[in-house]
Amino acid sequence: MFKGFKQQGFSLQYTALIVGSVLLLLFTLLFATASGSVELSIAQVFDALFCTGNCSNSEIEQKIIIDIRLPRILMAMITGAGLAITGAILQSITRNPLADPYLFGISSGSALGAVIVMASISTAAISLTLGALVGGAFSVALMLALAGRSAANIERLILAGVAVSFMLSAFTSLVLYYSKPEVAATLLFWMMGSFANSQWSELSLPAVTVVLGLMLFVFFRRWLAAVQAGEESALTLGIPVAKLRLFILIICSAITAVLVAHVGGIGFVGLMIPHISRFIVGAQIHRILTMCVLLGATFMIWVDVIARSLLQHQVLPVGIVTSAVGSLFFFIILRSRSQKDI
């Protein structure tokens, strides 16, 4: 991917933006690892990560950094990057600036799966994650089946997705309505998103899915760029538009389903980070993707930092903070931009 930048012609501004974003992400990583209910210094974070011989950290500090904070921060990073690139690609392929990873009812499918697991199978034989994963996959399958042959028509596909979304939400509400109050509370918290339960062992599936998805998006970047300028003209450039779209939709659904299953429904990131990235770097697919990875990851880590430090002894659901912080941020950008245009 990085070879592409050089060959796109040297652009000082773009290079500076990328370097700046990378530095911001690195700083965010260190800062987020150091901050929390147990205050640690950035030097201690370095120590915990790279120290081999005599380390200054106590065993408990080491444990906090390695076992509690890092997996959580990495999960936030993967989630932010994954949702942002998925949103960016969905917006391009549907040529709809309002498209986001939850467009096809994946989050409601995952929620239903999780709710059913929690409400009916009290033993932890099947994990909530697995239930959510199956639910998300089910919603995508249902949408494709409903759309049927008209899956080539993007409007119908979106409508089918919206219908599936409402249907599954209704079932989720029904199960919630009849479940015990403490189960309902747990579920609601899960649905609003949280990185609290992240563990090293859970990171691999989201990480692999997001990286594979990113590689596929980069691979198809020429075609995606042409499709975002117009479907019929993309066709005249020899691009199998309908097949490409279906394939990309399935990839996006897979990424979203895996992420939702692990961290719950986190809105805004997939919708707005792509727009912010586009504001900054223009409409070239590989540039948007790079910016989405960096900004999405940075943004999500900050959201998690805010969520666990805003109220003492209490962690706010990430989804609430994302939407609140994000929309504020977006208003500012929108305002400054419209002033520039006039």
Binding stretches for another protein (CB under 8 A): 3-4, 7-9, 91-92, 95-97, 219-220, 222-223, 225-226, 228-230, 232-233, 235-240, 278, 282-284
Based on CB atoms, which residue is closest to another protein, 21 or 94? 94
CB of 151 to another protein, least distance (A): 18
User: Residue 255 and residue 298: Cα distance in Å, rounded?
Assistant: 19
Based on CB atoms, which residue is closest to another protein, 262 or 275? 275
CB of 292 to another protein, least distance (A): 14
CB of 207 to another protein, least distance (A): 23
User: Residue 256 and residue 86: Cα distance in Å, rounded?
Assistant: 8
Based on CB atoms, which residue is closest to another protein, 274 or 326? 274
The SS3 call for residue 187 is helix
Based on CB atoms, which residue is closest to another protein, 106 or 288? 288
Question: Which residue's structure tokens are 């209910």?
Answer: 37
Based on CB atoms, which residue is closest to another protein, 196 or 218? 218
Please answer whether residues 111 and 172 qualify as being in contact, where contact means their C-beta atoms are separated by less than 8 angstroms. yes
Handedness of CA 190, 32, 256, 198 (dihedral sign): negative
3-state secondary structure string, 217-253?
Answer: HHHCHHHHHHHHHCHHHHHHCCCCHHHHHHHHHHHHH
Which is nearest to 297 in space by CA: 1, 27, 15? Answer: 27
CB of 237 to another protein, least distance (A): 4
Sequence length of the chain is 342
- Cα 13 to Cα 147, 203, 292, 341, distances in angstroms: 44, 34, 17, 20
Please answer whether residues 106 and 293 qualify as being in contact, where contact means their C-beta atoms are separated by less than 8 angstroms. no
CB of 183 to another protein, least distance (A): 43
Based on CB atoms, which residue is closest to another protein, 200 or 219? 219
What distance separates the 2 farthest-apart alpha carbons in the chain? 65
- Cα 237 to Cα 81, 247, 252, distances in angstroms: 30, 18, 24
CB of 218 to another protein, least distance (A): 9
CB of 239 to another protein, least distance (A): 7
Which amino acid appears at position 228 of this protein? Q
CB of 155 to another protein, least distance (A): 13
Which amino acid appears at position 299 of this protein? F
Based on CB atoms, which residue is closest to another protein, 280 or 324? 280
Q: Could you give the dihedral angle defined by the CA atoms of residues 230, 236, 238 and 239, in that order, rounded to the nearest 10 degrees?
A: 20
Based on CB atoms, which residue is closest to another protein, 9 or 148? 9
